[in-house]
Structure formats: structure tokens, C-alpha cells
Amino acid sequence: MVSRVASFGQQALLLSATLENQVRVATAQEQIATGRQTDEFRGLAGQTTTLLGAQSTLTRVETFQRTIDTINGTITANDVQVGGIISAFEDIQDTLRLAIANDQGAGIEQLLETNYQFIVNALNTNFNGGFLFAGANTGTQPLSSVTIGGTSFDITTLDGLQNAITAGAAEVPPLTAADVIAQAFQNSDIPFQARVADGVDIEFGLLANEIGEAGLNAIQSVIGYIQDPATLPVDQLEGPLSDTAQAFLTGILADFDAAIDAARTQQTANGLTAQRLEVIDSQHADSAVFLETFIADIQDVDIAEAITRLNNDQVALQASFQAIRSLSDLSLLDFL
């Protein structure tokens, strides 16, 4: 004899509701643990395409931001080195003015040698594994040696440059000092370029010859005057200056003005690039904030709301278990 009350229908209904409660509890627990609505795109229904597009755009913006950070490092290095080169040219120019004013040329040759070495080292600056002012030829030192008539001359020293110029003058046809200096620069004609935003490419590299060629020509003119055997000792730049030496120094000041202007033009261009990058980077920062918020609205969960749901779902699940237990204990004897 069966003593139990027929309860299959009620049990099936309660089991279905209990399973749904268990799923909701598990979902809420996972959302609280991960902070996400779901770890599967299928859980986002029609928002999947929108989310993927936003994430792709954010990744691209972040890549541009990293590129700009790298470029800013190069731009800062450019500014420091070009500023030092300009100071070296100005130091020479100030010394020449002082020599003219005091009618005294002692020490000019030593000053030229020291500043030439500094300028060459600055133009050969190695930064982040490549030569800063080499343009696209990052692995090639801008100023190292020059080959004249099959002979290589080290032009990292002023004496080496003068030897190369002397050899050039003996060539047929002869090479001028300016020709030799122009050949000495081994940097590329193409500066660094990078894409910093969709459809926006920017040049940010400076070239050694555009910074320093005019200055090296001015320095060479002075050292050439000093070492020229055709120049009478009385006209050379040692001790009291002759009228000829005075006139020479007065005229060469304009060459240093041109050299300083050329370097400052490059420094200004570098600064303008920095300003442009600052504007673009600010736009990227705004875009990143918007996209992060937009993505969060789609895939992130409201933790407080999820905890409330979890508590409610746990209460409902517990009630479901109790109902199933009560239903399982029903018997006809309870009604007799």
C-alpha cells in the first residue's frame, strides 16, 4: 500500500525553481569575484560587437600613447643635446668678440679644439640603442671618418678634420673645406617618423648635418686661418691682433650667427613637435577615459547590486530546499 501523497508535479516544479536559483547564486558569486557581467561574449548578447569594437579602439589608443611616450623621450634628448651645441657655438662667438675687444687672440685655438670635440660628441649621441641624430640610419654614427682619395681620416678630432681638408685640397678637382665637411656627415636625409594617431604621422628626429654643419664650417674657417702657412705670424690669432686678424674675426662672427640660427631652427622645430604631441596625447587620454568607462558600463557589474541579488537568491534557494524537504515528507497518514 502506498502511503505517500502524490507530489511528482510539485517536486518537478520545485526542482526546476531550485536549479534556477542555484544558477542565479552561482552567477552572482562569479560576478562579485570577477567584477564582470560575464566571462563569455555570449552572455552579452547584442552588445558583443560593440564591446569588441570599443576594446579594439582602446588598445589602439593605448599603443599610440606608448609611442608618444617613447617619442617624448627622444624629443627631450634632442633638446638637451642641441641646447648644448648652441651653447658651444655661443661660447666660441663670445670668446671671439672678447678677443676683438681686448685685441688679444691667445687661447682661441685651444677653445676651438675643446668645443669641436664637445659638438662632435653631441652630434654622435647614442640614445636607446641608436644614434640620436642619424635619422633613419640609426646604426650609423653621424660623424666618424671621411674618405678622401682612398684614405680614411678620423674627423672626430679637429686635427683629423684638418688633415682630411688638406687631402681634399690636393684632389683633382680639389675639394673645398665645405665639401669635405659635407661628406663627413653620414646621417640619413630621412628623419624618424611615427604614427601617433589614426591617419596622423609625425616627424620627430633631427639630423646631424642640419644642426651642426654650418657650425663646423665656421670653426674650420677659424682653425684654418690659424694654421694656414700662408698667414704671416703677425696675422695669426696669437697675442695682439693685427688689423688683418681683427677684420677676419669680425667677419667670421656672422658665420657663427648663421650656425647658431641653424641649430636654433632645429631646436624650435623640435619644440613645436613636442607641443603637437602634447595636444594629441591629451586627446588620447580623453578618449581612453571615455572608452574605459564605456567598456565598463557594458561588461562590469555593480558590486553592491550583485551582493544584494546574491543575498536574495541565497534566501530563495534555501526556501526552495526547505520546500522540497517538506514536500518529500508528506504522507497520507498526515491526513488520516
Cα–Cα distance measured from residue 137 to residue 143, given in angstroms and rounded to the nearest whole number:
12
Query: According to the model, what pLDDT value does residue 98 have?
Result: 94
What's the number of domains the chain is made of?
Answer: 2
Q: Are residues 322 and 271 in the same domain?
A: no
Query: According to the model, what pLDDT value does residue 1 have?
Result: 45
On the question of a cis peptide bond just before residue 142, with omega within 30 degrees of 0, the verdict is no
Q: Are residues 259 and 314 in the same domain?
A: no
Cell numbers at 25, concatenated: 547564486
Closest CA to 211 of 187, 175, 193: 187
DSSP H/E element including 152: strand 151-154
Q: Are residues 202 and 322 in the same domain?
A: no
Q: Is 196 helix (H, G, I), strand (E, B) or coil?
A: strand
Q: Are residues 97 and 193 in the same domain?
A: yes
pLDDT in single tens digits along all 336 residues of the chain? 444 554 555 556 656 656 666 666 666 566 565 555 555 555 555 566 777 788 889 999 999 999 999 999 999 999 999 999 999 999 999 999 999 999 988 889 899 999 999 999 999 999 988 999 999 888 999 999 999 999 999 999 999 999 999 999 999 999 999 999 999 999 999 888 899 999 899 988 899 999 999 999 999 999 999 888 776 666 677 778 888 889 999 999 999 999 999 999 999 999 999 999 999 999 999 999 998 888 776 666 555 665 666 566 666 656 666 655 565 555 544 545
Model pTM?
Answer: 0.76
Domain with 17, as residue range(s), is 8-37+300-335
What CATH number is given to the structural domain containing 249?
Answer: 1.20.1330.10
Query: According to the model, what pLDDT value does residue 227 have?
Result: 84
Q: Are residues 109 and 20 in the same domain?
A: no
Longest dimension (CA), the chain: 141
Query: According to the model, what pLDDT value does residue 309 have?
Result: 60
Q: Where are the alpha helices (DSSP H) in 228-302?
A: 243-299
